[in-house]
């Protein structure tokens, strides 16, 4: 299916406008200019849009919006969004009642489900990314995006820091140097005598319920796991994490169910106490964000948009822009908010404490660090995750301890977010936030008191229930009742 002249004109305008932005990866998480961009006229009315959709792929996307028949009299316009932040252009469908004059006194009909399309011109530095030029790229074609993110973060983001640490978990998965060899457990003390920092990746995942539950290390299989962990026994999420780690040239991987002896209370307690350091010290954290259990995996080869349209401006090319790609849907923070992983209480401390975290979702990857968040297609670009208001992933990016007042706000944002998340076992309620407590205590010097702080206890006890919900009777949460 082709693209109509009207959509080609819009795409050409968007592609040329991108050249005015600094077309460099160094713009990652630059300060945003708030507000919408330009509004572009499209079809005169809905009838014309629907008629064009039979021959134009882009008009077909726009006409897929719900209940358009209720707005037959409206003019169709496309409004530029996020363009001040990102290097690509995002256009959102808007319907206007007045076709003659855009009177400031009138507001367009803005509807939450109206489609957004992304346009990436051929001269754009992001045009080389597989997400813009291939419908179903394999992971090997996407790895360079991760490498670029990491390289830029280590070079340009002092707030993210390095990975030096003095305390390591007791064990790592050793992936070896042969890409086909089975992994095995190795004691951290055996890794080169730890004379230099160990570069490793940590996995953040949902255990969930699945046909193949996460493989666990127990006292019975510890010795065999030190020799070899059968690949066939691993879940899809674990095998994908191993593949991704190897593809990035990293030998060691930390997975909780395999690196902690699950039926050894002493080992579990000792290793759980190190968990904050595990995520803080990792080279980066792999987040199986869209997978509710071990079956889902990381969607390494699944980046299938509903539409990826390539347009050539034959005879109309200007300023060196000869073509563009139009993608639908574009990235959205809602994908992270609604993901299974973001609903788990244990995961909050993993999200907060990881200096660098890569969210693997069904359609694309998202990179999150202390300096900002960026999507694989470049349409999501949020700077400064230290501010909860600026951060798209709610409490997971808030770390501001610069003043006592801001430190209190940070803790409250964590607790509010933590309280909304799910725990399989109520007995884990304190353990699942222990890493955040330890991090906060180190940052402030304050004394913890059962989820509150001695220095602000008068304030912490002034909580209230925001929503009308039925309280639970926590029978085994390891919290003293007096």
| 382-421 pLDDT per residue, tens | 764 443 333 444 445 556 777 888 888 889 888 888 988 9
Phi and psi angles of residue 41, each rounded to the nearest 5 degrees, phi first: -65, 140
pLDDT in tens, 181-234: 899 999 998 886 556 788 999 999 998 877 778 899 999 999 999 999 999 999
d(C-alpha 254, C-alpha 200), whole Å? 7
**Residue 88, both tokens:** 């690509």
- In this prediction, residue 3 carries a pLDDT of 94
- In this prediction, residue 36 carries a pLDDT of 57
Question: Is pLDDT at 477 greater than 90 in this prediction?
Answer: no
Residue whose structure tokens are 């908010």: 337
The single-letter DSSP state of residue 329 is S
Instruction: Enumerate helices (H) and strands (E) in the chain, giving the number of each.
Output: 15, 17
- In this prediction, residue 367 carries a pLDDT of 94
Question: Is pLDDT at 28 greater than 80 in this prediction?
Answer: no
Nearest to 37 by CA among 83, 99, 101, 97: 83
Give the pairing type, strands 200-204 and 284-287: parallel
Q: Band the pLDDT of 248: cuts 50, 70, 90.
A: very high
pLDDT in tens, 452-471: 999 999 888 887 776 665 55
Between vectors from CA 379 to CA 378 and to CA 380, what angle results, nearest 5°? 95
Task: List the end-to-end C-alpha distance of the chain, in Å, as a whole number.
Answer: 70
Strand, coil or helix: 440: helix
- In this prediction, residue 245 carries a pLDDT of 98
Q: Band the pLDDT of 30: cuts 50, 70, 90.
A: very low
- Length of the chain (residues): 482
Taking all residues of the chain, what is their mean pLDDT, rounded to a whole number?
Answer: 84
d(C-alpha 280, C-alpha 443), whole Å? 14
For residues 324 and 425, the model is more confident at 324
pLDDT in tens, 298-329: 999 977 788 999 999 987 777 788 999 999 99
d(C-alpha 122, C-alpha 464), whole Å? 53
pTM of the model: 0.88
Show the 3-state SS of 346-385. HHHHHHHHCCEEEEECCCCEEEEECCEEEECCCCCEEECC
- In this prediction, residue 20 carries a pLDDT of 63
d(C-alpha 210, C-alpha 237), whole Å? 11
- In this prediction, residue 471 carries a pLDDT of 59
Kindly state the average pLDDT of the residues 89-118: 72
Question: Is pLDDT at 34 greater than 60 in this prediction?
Answer: no
DSSP notation for 461-482:
T-----S--PPP--SSS-----
Kindly state the average pLDDT of the residues 64-80: 82
d(C-alpha 379, C-alpha 169), whole Å? 37
- In this prediction, residue 60 carries a pLDDT of 94
Question: Is pLDDT at 145 greater than 60 in this prediction?
Answer: yes
d(C-alpha 317, C-alpha 320), whole Å? 7
């Amino acid at each position: 299916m082709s693209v109509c002249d009207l959509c080609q004109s819009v795409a050409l305008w968007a592609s040329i406008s991108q050249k005015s932005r600094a077309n460099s990866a160094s713009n990652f998480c630059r300060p945003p200019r708030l507000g919408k961009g330009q509004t572009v006229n499209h079809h005169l009315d809905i009838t014309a849009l629907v008629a064009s959709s039979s021959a134009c792929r882009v008009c077909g996307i726009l006409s897929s919006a719900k209940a358009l028949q209720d707005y037959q009299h409206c003019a169709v316009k496309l409004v530029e969004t996020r363009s001040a932040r990102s290097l690509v252009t995002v256009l959102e469908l808007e319907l206007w009642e007045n076709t003659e004059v855009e009177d400031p006194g009138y507001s367009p009909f803005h509807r939450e489900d109206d489609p957004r399309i992304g346009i990436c011109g051929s001269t754009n530095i992001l045009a080389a990314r597989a997400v813009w030029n291939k419908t179903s790229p394999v992971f090997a074609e996407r790895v360079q995006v991760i490498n670029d993110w990491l390289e830029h973060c280590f070079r340009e983001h002092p707030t993210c820091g390095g990975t030096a640490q003095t305390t390591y978990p007791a064990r790592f998965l050793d992936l070896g140097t042969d890409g086909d060899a089975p992994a095995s457990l190795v004691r951290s003390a055996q890794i080169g005598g730890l004379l230099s920092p160990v570069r490793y990746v940590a996995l953040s995942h949902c255990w969930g319920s699945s046909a193949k539950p996460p493989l666990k290390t127990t006292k019975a299989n510890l010795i065999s796991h030190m020799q070899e962990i059968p690949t066939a026994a691993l879940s899809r999420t674990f095998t994908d994490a191993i593949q991704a780690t190897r593809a990035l040239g990293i030998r060691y991987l930390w997975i909780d169910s395999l690196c902690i002896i699950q039926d050894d209370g002493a080992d579990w307690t000792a290793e759980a106490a190190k968990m904050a350091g595990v995520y803080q010290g990792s080279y980066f954290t792999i987040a199986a964000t869209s997978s509710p259990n071990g079956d889902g995996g990381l969607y390494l080869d699944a980046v299938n948009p509903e539409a990826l349209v390539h347009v050539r401006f034959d005879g109309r090319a200007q300023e060196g822009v000869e073509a563009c790609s139009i993608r639908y849907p574009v990235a959205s923070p809602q994908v992270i908010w609604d993901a299974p992983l973001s609903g788990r209480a244990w995961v909050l401390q993993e999200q907060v404490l990881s200096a660098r975290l890569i969210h693997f979702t069904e359609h694309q990857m998202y990179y999150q660090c202390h300096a900002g968040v960026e999507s694989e297609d470049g349409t999501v670009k949020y700077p400064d995750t230290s501010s909860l208001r600026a951060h798209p992933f709610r409490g997971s990016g808030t770390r501001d301890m610069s003043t006592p007042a801001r430190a209190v706000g940070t803790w409250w944002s964590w607790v509010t977010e933590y309280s909304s998340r799910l725990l399989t076992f109520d007995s884990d309620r304190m353990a699942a936030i222990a890493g955040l407590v330890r991090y906060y205590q180190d940052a402030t010097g304050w004394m913890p008191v059962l989820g509150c702080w001695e220095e602000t206890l008068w304030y912490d006890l002034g909580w209230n229930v925001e929503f009308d919900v039925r309280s639970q009777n926590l029978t085994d949460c390891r919290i003293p009742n007096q």
